[in-house]
A and B are shown apart, each in its own frame.
Chain A
């Protein structure tokens, strides 16, 4: 490779993101040329893959749709194979702001953390919206089972070190969700949070639709409170 390979890989999961992906990656490449990235096209039915190929983006393209967990794991496999020391999920819809990546990476290295969460509520106060009520509930479940207070468990902006990459790339049931973070804490992972702010989506459709939120909450709480005790530690 002509350019020197970095230690951090940004995994950009993309499902039907033709309206966003080009802008997101170009912004990233122009303003932050120091970060490596890979777009994981999760079997999109639109022109996501075509755009990535045309623009010469680094791309892992699935022939079928596996869902966010599959796309995330595919990215982790790529990170593992390419020998990256750190990998983080970076949303293709432009929610995540790259200006905070440096601080997160710096935290991971300084604190020797396994996971660094880009958290909206380290210094900021958590608002009392229905969505944040869900966040509070999940945080409470995590606090009860692990004793750790995670201020923003639902943030998708999470940075993992190589030890975590190995687990996330190869094990079943380690999707990019709060229950995975909770279980990894119980397995002895060191977690830190780093203040970030997030942008609203500009186009396309989110993985988390409104109707599914309640189902999601129930699944997360059950997973954190009950299922975790049956799982084999890594």
Chain B
């Protein structure tokens, strides 16, 4: 891994860390969601600070160059996150549908009751 790349990863990770802190302080994010990004930033920093460890893993799994291994790790983490988000969007949509339907049906029944008391 080249030194410029390592410096770049560290700078980006630190900046991300500060950005996450701001979002959390302004209550724009939930802790559970913040954890992933903090972990992500930490992983990038660890890989930049200890390139020997990355090289060791690179040889272990038979990847050509350490930077490819870094990309692999990043892609893997992002895919996992993407899937988790997809699950979350689905569940949010199901909840939203349910809410809209329930509220509207309840209101319709109330209106009916008023118009037409039994």
Contacts of A38 in B (CB 8 A): 108
CB–CB A70/B112 < 8 A: no
Q: Is there a chain B Cβ closer than 8 Å to A210's Cβ? A: no
Partner of B108, one of A63, A70, A78, A172: A78
How far, in Å, is B26 (CB) from chain A's closest CB? 27
Determine the main DSSP class of A at the interface with B.
Answer: mixed
Which of A54-62, A108-116, A141-149, A194-202 is near enough to bind chain B? Answer: A54-62
Complex interface: chain B residues within 8 A of A66 (CB): 96-97, 100-101
Q: Which residues of chain B have C-beta atoms less than 8 A from A77's C-beta?
A: 101-102, 105
> Which residue on A lies nearest to B113, using beta carbons?
A1
Contact at B100–A62, with CB atoms within 8 Å?
A: yes
| Cβ–Cβ contact A60 & B116, under 8 A | no
Mark A60-89 against chain B: 1 for CB-CB distance below 8 A, else 0: 111110100110011001100110000000
B109 within 8 A of A: yes
In whole Å, how far is A173's beta carbon from the nearest beta carbon of chain B? 9
Contact, CB under 8 Å: B100 / A60: no
Q: B116 contacts which chain A residues (CB < 8 A)?
A: 1-2
B90's closest neighbor in chain A, by CB?
A172
Does B104 interact with chain A (Cβ within 8 Å)? yes
Contact with A along B84-115 (1 / 0, CB 8 A): 00000000001011001111110111001000
Interface, chain B (partner A; CB < 8 A): 94, 96-97, 100-105, 107-109, 112, 116, 118
4 tightest Cβ-Cβ pairs between the two chains A and B: A74-B101, A60-B108, A172-B94, A77-B105
Instruction: Give chain A's interface residues, CB within 8 Å of chain B.
Output: 1-2, 38, 58-64, 66, 69-70, 73-74, 77-78, 81-82, 172
